[in-house]
Chains A and B, each alone.
Chain A
Amino acid sequence: MTCIETRDLFSALADDALTPEERAALDAHLADCAECRRELATFARTVKMVRAMDPAHAPAGFVDRVLAAAEPVPWSRRVARRVFRPWPTVPLSAAALLVIGGLAVLLFRALPEQQRLARQQYQAEYQPQPAPQQPPARPAGPVRPAAPTASREGARGTEPAPAAKSAPPTEPAQSTDEARVTEQARPTETASRATPAPPAARDALSDSTRTDKSESRTAAEPSRLRAQTPAPTAKRAEPSSPPTTEAPAPPAGTADTQRAAPPGTAQEPGTTARAFERDEAKDDAKRAANVRREAAAITTVPSQAPPQIAPLSRTGPMTGTRAAPPDVTAELRTADVRAAERSLIALAARVGGRQTGRRIDGGRVVVELAVPSDAYAEFVRRAAALGPVAIDKQAIERSVLAIAVTISD
Chain B
Amino acid sequence: MREGLGGDPPGLLVRLRAGDPRAFEELVIAYQHRVFGVALRMLGSRAEAEEIAQEVFLRAHRALAEFRGEARLATWLYAIVSRLCLNRLASPDRRVARGDAALADVAASTPDAAAQAERAELDAALHAAIAELPDERRLVLVLRDLEGLSYEQIAETLALDPGTVRSRLHRARMQLKEKLERFA
Since A8-B170, A42-B177, A66-B57 are in contact, a sample of 20 more A-B pairs with Cβ atoms closer than 8 Å, ordered by chain A residue number, is A12-B166, A15-B144, A47-B145, A49-B126, A49-B180, A50-B130, A50-B176, A51-B145, A52-B1, A53-B126, A54-B106, A58-B33, A62-B36, A62-B50, A63-B32, A65-B54, A67-B28, A69-B58, A70-B58, A70-B61
In the complex formed, the residue of B with least CB distance to A62 is: B32
Q: How far is the CA of A51 from the CA of B169 in the complex (A)?
A: 13
Question: Which applies to chain B's interface (DSSP): helix, strand, loop or mixed?
Answer: helix
Residues of B with Cβ closer than 8 Å to A?
1-2, 24-25, 28-29, 32-33, 35-37, 40-41, 46, 49-50, 53-54, 57-58, 61, 102, 105-106, 109-110, 122-123, 126, 130, 141, 144-146, 151, 166, 169-170, 173-174, 176-177, 180-181, 183-184
Interface pair B54/A56, CB less than 8 Å apart? no
Tell me, yes or no, whether A10 is within 8 Å of chain B by CB: yes
Q: For A56, what are the chain B residues with a Cβ–Cβ distance below 8 Å?
A: 33, 36-37, 40-41, 49, 102, 105-106
If A15-B144, A66-B58, A67-B28 touch, does A59 touch B50 (CB 8 Å cutoff)? Answer: yes
- Per the CB 8 Å criterion, the residue count for chain A at the interface is 31
If A42-B177, A43-B174 touch, does A58 touch B184 (CB 8 Å cutoff)? Answer: no
CB distance from B105 to the nearest CB of A (A): 6
User: Could you show 19 A-B contacts with beta carbons less than 8 Å apart?
Assistant: A10-B174, A12-B170, A42-B184, A43-B174, A46-B173, A49-B122, A51-B1, A54-B109, A54-B110, A55-B1, A55-B33, A56-B33, A58-B32, A58-B35, A58-B53, A59-B46, A62-B28, A62-B53, A66-B58
Interface pair A50/B54, CB less than 8 Å apart? no
In the complex formed, the residue of B with least CB distance to A41 is: B184
Q: How far is the CA of A58 from the CA of B180 in the complex (A)?
A: 27
Tell me, yes or no, whether A14 is within 8 Å of chain B by CB: yes
In the complex formed, the residue of B with least CB distance to A12 is: B166
If A50-B145, A55-B146, A63-B29 touch, does A11 touch B130 (CB 8 Å cutoff)? Answer: no
Residues of A with Cβ closer than 8 Å to B?
7-8, 10-12, 14-15, 17, 42-43, 45-47, 49-59, 62-63, 65-67, 69-70
Q: For B58, what are the chain A residues with a Cβ–Cβ distance below 8 Å?
A: 66, 69-70
CB distance from B29 to the nearest CB of A (A): 6
CB distance from B107 to the nearest CB of A (A): 9
Interface pair A43/B173, CB less than 8 Å apart? yes
Q: For B41, what are the chain A residues with a Cβ–Cβ distance below 8 Å?
A: 56
Q: For A58, what are the chain B residues with a Cβ–Cβ distance below 8 Å?
A: 32-33, 35-36, 50, 53
In the complex formed, the residue of A with least CB distance to B3 is: A55
Interface pair A49/B183, CB less than 8 Å apart? yes
In the complex formed, the residue of A with least CB distance to B34 is: A55
Q: For A52, what are the chain B residues with a Cβ–Cβ distance below 8 Å?
A: 1
In the complex formed, the residue of A with least CB distance to B183 is: A49
CB distance from B170 to the nearest CB of A (A): 4
Interface pair B37/A66, CB less than 8 Å apart? no
Q: For A54, what are the chain B residues with a Cβ–Cβ distance below 8 Å?
A: 106, 109-110
Interface pair B184/A49, CB less than 8 Å apart? yes
Q: For A8, what are the chain B residues with a Cβ–Cβ distance below 8 Å?
A: 170
Q: For B46, what are the chain A residues with a Cβ–Cβ distance below 8 Å?
A: 59
